[in-house]
């Protein structure tokens, strides 16, 4: 199997599994049924065409941008953009702005691009509920509570460091960070990193069981 086909097959499976975790995705997929959405990214060697039914199918597109645009109909849309702009495409409110800024070239039905963006932007997945299917409700709740508490501590430490730096710059004082504050912040980051690694390892073990 060519590398491109293997890559797209893996991405297709992962995306469909992700969509299946949100029961409302079925309605958004139904609205896109029978439509095609082709994405050209400047830095990639081939384009990707998304075909919609009750699921999403990904196909490698080796025709040129001009050839694809020439074949567009009322059920298809084609965009051309850069890798840097790609993450912003999940925000439907940004599409028109990106077009005006020449960061996005769109041909065909704009509504299709908006629906595709909405398909991913509106994903609502209860990760804790999914994990609880493997660990049980109590273990999942404890795991996520600990993770949220650690993330909150790191967020507060980061905000304190940001405010301290902003105050120092505003008051035109010599910029110097207290050594204990740096050590505390570093400890918090390390704790969060360790928690994430343990969380990922536990999920991996559960998936392999």
- The answer on 34 and 101 residing in a single domain is yes
How far is residue 98 from each of residues 57, 84, 92, 103, 189, measured CA to CA in Å? 26, 12, 10, 5, 35
Report pLDDT for 207: 58
Q: Which of 68-77, 130-139, 199-208 has the lowest mean pLDDT?
A: 130-139
pLDDT tens digit sequence for 60-85: 999 999 999 999 999 999 999 998 88
- The answer on 113 and 39 residing in a single domain is yes
Report pLDDT for 76: 96
Q: Is the pLDDT reported for residue 98 higher than 60?
A: yes
Cα 91 to Cα 117: distance, rounded to the nearest angstrom: 6
pTM over 0.85: no
The number of distinct structural domains making up the chain is 2
Task: Transcribe 104-160 into DSSP letters.
Answer: EEEEE-HHHHHHHHHHHHT----HHHHHHHHH-HHHHHHHHHHHHHHHHHHHHHHHH
Q: Is the pLDDT reported for residue 204 higher than 90?
A: no
Domain of 16 in residue numbering reads as: 3-121
Region 90-107: what's the mean pLDDT? Answer: 87
Mean pLDDT of the chain: 76
- The answer on 97 and 11 residing in a single domain is yes
Cα 1 to Cα 154: distance, rounded to the nearest angstrom: 45
């Amino acid at each position: 199997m060519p590398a491109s086909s293997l890559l797209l097959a893996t991405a297709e499976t992962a995306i469909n599994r992700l969509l299946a975790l949100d029961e409302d995705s079925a309605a958004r997929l139904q609205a896109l049924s029978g439509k095609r959405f082709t994405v050209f990214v400047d830095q990639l060697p081939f384009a990707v065409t998304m075909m919609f039914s009750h699921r999403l199918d990904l196909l490698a597109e080796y025709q040129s941008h001009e050839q694809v645009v020439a074949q567009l109909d009322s059920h298809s849309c084609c965009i051309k953009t850069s890798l840097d702009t790609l993450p912003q495409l999940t925000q439907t409110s940004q599409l028109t702005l990106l077009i005006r800024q020449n960061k996005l070239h769109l041909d065909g039905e704009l509504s299709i691009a908006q629906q595709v963006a909405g398909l991913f932007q509106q994903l609502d997945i209860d990760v804790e509920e999914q994990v609880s299917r493997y660990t049980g409700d109590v273990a999942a709740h404890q795991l996520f509570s600990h993770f949220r508490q650690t993330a909150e501590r790191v967020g507060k430490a980061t905000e304190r460091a940001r405010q301290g730096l902003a105050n120092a710059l505003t008051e035109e004082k010599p910029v110097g960070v207290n050594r204990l504050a740096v050590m505390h912040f570093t400890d918090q980051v390390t704790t969060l990193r360790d928690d994430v690694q343990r969380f990922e390892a536990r999920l991996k073990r559960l998936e392999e069981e």
